[in-house]
Amino acid sequence: MRPLLLIATALMLSTAQANKRIQAPTTTALPTEITACDDPNWPPYVFIGSEHGHPKAQGFSVDVIATALAEHGLKLKVETMPWLRCQRELNSESRFLLALGAAYTPERNEHYRLSLPYHALQSTLFFIESHWPAGKTFSRKEELKTITLCAMRGFPLKNLGLEAYRVDRGHDNYQQMLDKLHYRRCDALLTPIEAIDAVLKQARLSPRHQPLSKREIPWQEATSFHALLNRHHPQSATLQTLLNEGLTTMARDGRLDALRKKWSLPALALPLSPGQQAPTRQHAGE
């Protein structure tokens, strides 16, 4: 009986130790290199540039987040991918801790942790003059619902009062949108002026495209722009705090405004609360 008792005791101790290991809380330290994902078809915020002859993610959002993290001795590593895949990565226990930038929506606020806003987006209509519906001034919201609009995938519509079904957002890059505009599948493109300007400067357009005209949307309010953090990572709250501290410091000492000027972006007052409408924007130099 004694050998059986010893064996039973050993099994009980072994099981207890195994359960203890399973139940013990796991702690994951915040890595010193923060891996981010984002869509590279969003200049001047994120795009593929060149450094020493090698492709590299560059842009305003890359500079802002890298600078904010550097305040705490953290490095930024950016991997580019389609926006839908990046969102899936951030909604899982993946190695990606954040996306560099996205406009505020209630859904994003629910699914991710949001940084303090470091910019704001405001839409402009771009169109081909000869295709433009006659008599449209867009001084009223109702007029925007009478034309066919195209926008980039995930582009926010809440501040324009538009339902999702009214805008074709099935585009992963500006070439796709411009093709639809050229072939009259869209009356106008809905995009920030700084984005289309960056695309034009980078000569990413097909030669067949006609010159674009633009029209402001006077009644809209700017939408706040944030980094999105992966809620599934055990250190996401810590990273959010560090990132917000870095962004606040940059806003106070002028480095955030300096980066806006570097990338020819409009200025705005910060900080804002997530989801709060940004004040009227002024273009750099005004």
Flag whether pLDDT at 187 surpasses 80.
yes
Confidence tier at 206 by pLDDT (50, 70, 90) = low
Enter the pTM of the model: 0.80
Domain identity same for 203 and 242: no
Lowest mean pLDDT among 16-30, 99-113, 198-212: 16-30
Query: What's the CATH code of the domain at 174?
Result: 3.40.190.10
Confidence tier at 83 by pLDDT (50, 70, 90) = very high
Domain identity same for 47 and 107: yes
273 domain residue, yes or no? no
Both tokens assigned to 192: 């920030």
Overall number of domains in the chain = 2
Whether residue 281 contacts residue 120, with contact meaning beta carbons closer than 8 Å, is answered with yes
279 domain residue, yes or no? no
Instruction: Examine the fold and report which residue of 200, 216, 232 is the final residue of a domain before the chain moves on.
Output: 216
Confidence tier at 71 by pLDDT (50, 70, 90) = very high
Lowest mean pLDDT among 11-25, 106-120, 144-158: 11-25
155 domain residue, yes or no? yes
Flag whether pLDDT at 278 surpasses 50.
no
Range of the domain at 74: 33-120+223-262
205 domain residue, yes or no? yes
Average pLDDT for 24-40: 79
Nearest to 40 by CA among 78, 75, 94: 78
52 domain residue, yes or no? yes
Domain identity same for 97 and 232: yes
Average pLDDT for 250-254: 94
Confidence tier at 209 by pLDDT (50, 70, 90) = low
Flag whether pLDDT at 277 surpasses 50.
no
Average pLDDT for 223-235: 94
What's the confidence (pLDDT) of residue 284?
Answer: 36
Taking the C-alpha atoms of residue 183 and residue 168, their distance in angstroms, rounded to an integer, is 14
Domain identity same for 55 and 76: yes
Nearest to 181 by CA among 151, 140, 161, 153: 151
Domain identity same for 230 and 90: yes
Instruction: Examine the fold and report which residue of 185, 216, 247 is the final residue of a domain before the chain moves on.
Output: 216
Domain identity same for 44 and 116: yes
Domain identity same for 111 and 234: yes
**CB neighbours (10 Å) of residue 169?**
16
- 59-73, 135-149, 262-276: which is most confident: 59-73
6 domain residue, yes or no? no
Domain identity same for 116 and 128: no
Instruction: Examine the fold and report which residue of 161, 182, 216 is the final residue of a domain before the chain moves on.
Output: 216
Average pLDDT of the chain is 81
Domain identity same for 80 and 152: no
Q: What percent of the chain has pLDDT over 90?
A: 47
Nearest to 60 by CA among 141, 19, 127, 120: 120
Domain identity same for 197 and 148: yes
- 70-74, 122-126, 160-164: which is most confident: 70-74
Domain identity same for 195 and 55: no
Domain identity same for 177 and 156: yes
- Chain-centre distance of CA 280, in angstroms? 21
